[in-house]
Chain A
Amino acid sequence: MARQRVRAPEQVTLPWVDKVAGPPPSPRLLPGPSHGRQPCHITVPIEPTFDVSQGVREVLTGWTGADRLTVTFDARHLELAECSGATEDSVGSAVDPQEPYVVGTRRGLIGGFINHTTFLNVLRCMGAITAWSTSKIGRRPSFDSIPPNEKTRTRTLWEALGMGDIIAHMGSPSLRRSLPIFEFESRYISPILIVSGRDDSRHQVIERTQDWIFRIKDRLGPMMPDLIRVVPEVVTNVVNHGQGGAFSLSLWPSQQVEISWCNRIDRQVDWPTEQTPQGLADSLLYHRTGGDGMHYIFNELLPRYNGVLIVNYMGSDVAFFSDKRFEIFGRDTRSLVFLPRSILFTLELFNRDRSR
């Protein structure tokens, strides 16, 4: 008996796929290893808790063996978290119609936008993928992005941070030597400031950030001089570690201040002395290298503002508290290949005397 021939189903468009801006199908559904000349296009969704190893895993498992790689970061489903681990109250109505991503409680005392580090993690992920691609494929990948949906809080935040522009600038397969400094438009957040290949814009970045802090000093009170002091230390540290570093500052309506910065550490072979989260903590606390910025944070800012410094390193978070105690969270045994080649610092300070 002749075997009945099974006809391949016709390709149909699924109802939930956006025809205009829809992402390509997940690479895991693509047929087998591709020919080297056929470019490989991988979409990495950005979720509220996006971390670097997630994105790297998507790319490594989706790579078809092609020698040209394009990665699209898809932020259409990114949402702002509705409550923060740093606050007890749930988040209520927006406090400023112009900046709807800044949210506050009914009392107006608590508030800020959360998952700020998600955006920096996207940039770290780009660095990790670039490093992998350069060594594995022999060329840099291209990056682009699909922004969050229009008229959403996340989209406004995306634009205020300059995410689309940054990815467009960094996403070119040829290495760009200089990046623009984006405008400070918000009263709550700085744009994300990226380190270009040269540090000739470092001075400008420091000056503009300090100017911005002066402009909004009515919201900062006694914390203002401390922020003025710490900005050059952080920016210099980020720049010294080379291209790919980033820096951002946000000042919440609750007077909580968040300073986030990330930099590459893969070129440092002898720091931390022991390359574990514990080794990182020891190095930061006890081994003085470079400037006095970290000492200033540990000995002045954390105690004065009851702050916490969270350092994301090798897939773990090391949290330093104001009493010089530290705890390590999220220790795991993930493969090194998925881990970021950068380190992310998030400094949270609580200006409790003021509430505006």
Chain B
Amino acid sequence: MQRLPRTLHLLTAARDTHKTGITKFGNGQHMIYELMGKKNDKSDVIYYLQCFWRGCNEDCIFVIDLSDLYMLGPSASSTFVESVTEFADEREKPVILVNVHSEALKGLRICEYTVQKKPTLWAFDTDRKLHVIGDIPERWRRVLAGLNQRGQATASDLAEDSSKTSVNRFSVYLQELFNARLVIRDKVSGSERPGGSERGWTYAYRPAFAEVDVRCGE
């Protein structure tokens, strides 16, 4: 089980850093149109994330809570998605969004096409329904479905047969998903192969969202 470091509440962080980039509506909801600085600069956001989660390097996945946020503006959405993606790559760990309002989710999806690196992020909406931000290919969807069903699996577990070609193909898919920060993995002792030889170790993968208690932030 991965450790969950303290959850980042985005609205609080935005308030602490750049209060005038937020508007509040009559229904108590908020909108961020400038995130952590007047210029919507992703380096400001990445620096904040680094400071907030300083010391949480190993065995962590990072959770950002978007509760009380009705939406982010287009520019703030791009900055947020780019920053989070870059931070996740830097740490090689997933970042998962929780309590995402449907309008905020829509905004985060719109910016998929403007950011330089295509994002892949798990997001739970306010009804705890799971979404993915970013386009993911069909082969990833199939593998994720398999992982979700099993909870945890190796490439050998997912392969259609025990042929090297098939196992290698699933190894590649799982590595792609890991690079996209959609899954996490642990080293486990190798499984026995037909023919008797035992591998030293292998990776067992599981979906990153499985680690998150979506109630966090409530």
Contact of B107 among A203, A207, A229, A293 (CB under 8 A): A229
CB-nearest residue of chain A to B103: A225
A233 at the interface (CB under 8 A from B): yes
CB-nearest residue of chain B to A199: B38
B120 at the interface (CB under 8 A from A): no
CB-nearest residue of chain A to B78: A292
Chain A CB within 10 A, most for which of B33, B71, B110: B33
Give per-residue flags for B21-52: 1 if the beta carbon is below 8 A from chain A beta carbons, else 0: 00111110001011000001000000000000
Chain B nearest Cβ from A70, distance in angstroms: 38
Chain A nearest Cβ from B193, distance in angstroms: 50
What residues on A are CB-neighbors of B40 within 8 Å? 291
What residues on A are CB-neighbors of B106 within 8 Å? 225
Number of interface residues of B (CB under 8 A): 24
Residues 267-289 of A at the B interface (beta carbon under 8 Å) = 288
Residues 37-87 of B at the A interface (beta carbon under 8 Å) = 40, 70-71, 73-75, 77-78
B201 at the interface (CB under 8 A from A): no
A211 at the interface (CB under 8 A from B): yes
Known interface pairs A225-B71, A295-B114. Does A232 touch B33 (Cβ–Cβ under 8 Å)? yes
Contact B33 A299 (CB under 8 A): no
CB-nearest residue of chain A to B32: A232
Contact A206 B33 (CB under 8 A): yes
Contact of B26 among A203, A214, A300 (CB under 8 A): A214
Number of interface residues of A (CB under 8 A): 21
Known interface pairs A288-B114, A299-B113. Does A214 touch B25 (Cβ–Cβ under 8 Å)? yes
User: In the docked arrangement, what's the CA distance between A236 and B21, Å?
Assistant: 11
User: In the docked arrangement, what's the CA distance between A295 and B113, Å?
Assistant: 9
What is the interface of chain A mostly: helix, strand, loop, or mixed?
helix
Chain B nearest Cβ from A356, distance in angstroms: 21
A137 at the interface (CB under 8 A from B): no
Give per-residue flags for A185-206: 1 if the beta carbon is below 8 A from chain B beta carbons, else 0: 0000000000000000001001
What residues on B are CB-neighbors of A291 within 8 Å? 40, 74-75
User: In the docked arrangement, what's the CA distance between A295 and B110, Å?
Assistant: 10
Contact A292 B77 (CB under 8 A): yes
Residues 90-116 of B at the A interface (beta carbon under 8 Å) = 103, 106-107, 110-111, 113-114
CB-nearest residue of chain B to A203: B20
Contact A295 B33 (CB under 8 A): no
A105 at the interface (CB under 8 A from B): no
What residues on A are CB-neighbors of B70 within 8 Å? 228
A210 at the interface (CB under 8 A from B): yes
Give per-residue flags for A226-263: 1 if the beta carbon is below 8 A from chain B beta carbons, else 0: 00111011001000000000000000000000000000
A329 at the interface (CB under 8 A from B): no
Contact of B25 among A210, A232, A288, A296 (CB under 8 A): A210
Contact B23 A296 (CB under 8 A): no
User: In the docked arrangement, what's the CA distance between A214 and B73, Å?
Assistant: 16
CB-nearest residue of chain A to B20: A203
Contact A207 B23 (CB under 8 A): yes
User: In the docked arrangement, what's the CA distance between A236 and B107, Å?
Assistant: 18
User: In the docked arrangement, what's the CA distance between A233 and B26, Å?
Assistant: 21
Chain B nearest Cβ from A309, distance in angstroms: 15
Known interface pairs A210-B23, A211-B26. Does A296 touch B74 (Cβ–Cβ under 8 Å)? yes
Contact B71 A229 (CB under 8 A): yes
User: In the docked arrangement, what's the CA distance between A296 and B71, Å?
Assistant: 14
Contact of B74 among A207, A210, A233 (CB under 8 A): A233
Contact A292 B114 (CB under 8 A): yes
User: In the docked arrangement, what's the CA distance between A247 and B30, Å?
Assistant: 23
Known interface pairs A225-B103, A228-B71, A292-B78. Does A210 touch B31 (Cβ–Cβ under 8 Å)? yes
What residues on B are CB-neighbors of A293 within 8 Å? 74-75
Contact A229 B23 (CB under 8 A): no
21 contacts between A and B (CB under 8 A): A203-B20, A206-B23, A206-B33, A207-B23, A207-B24, A210-B25, A211-B26, A214-B27, A225-B71, A228-B71, A229-B31, A229-B71, A232-B23, A232-B33, A232-B34, A236-B75, A291-B40, A292-B78, A292-B114, A295-B74, A296-B74
- A→B interface (CB under 8 Å): 203, 206-207, 210-211, 214, 225, 228-230, 232-233, 236, 288, 291-293, 295-296, 299-300
What would 7 more interface pairs be, CB under 8 Å, given A211-B26, A228-B31, A232-B33?
Answer: A210-B25, A211-B25, A214-B26, A232-B31, A232-B73, A292-B111, A292-B114
List 8 A-B pairs, minimum CB-CB distance, nearest first: A291-B75, A232-B33, A296-B74, A292-B74, A292-B75, A203-B20, A207-B23, A292-B78
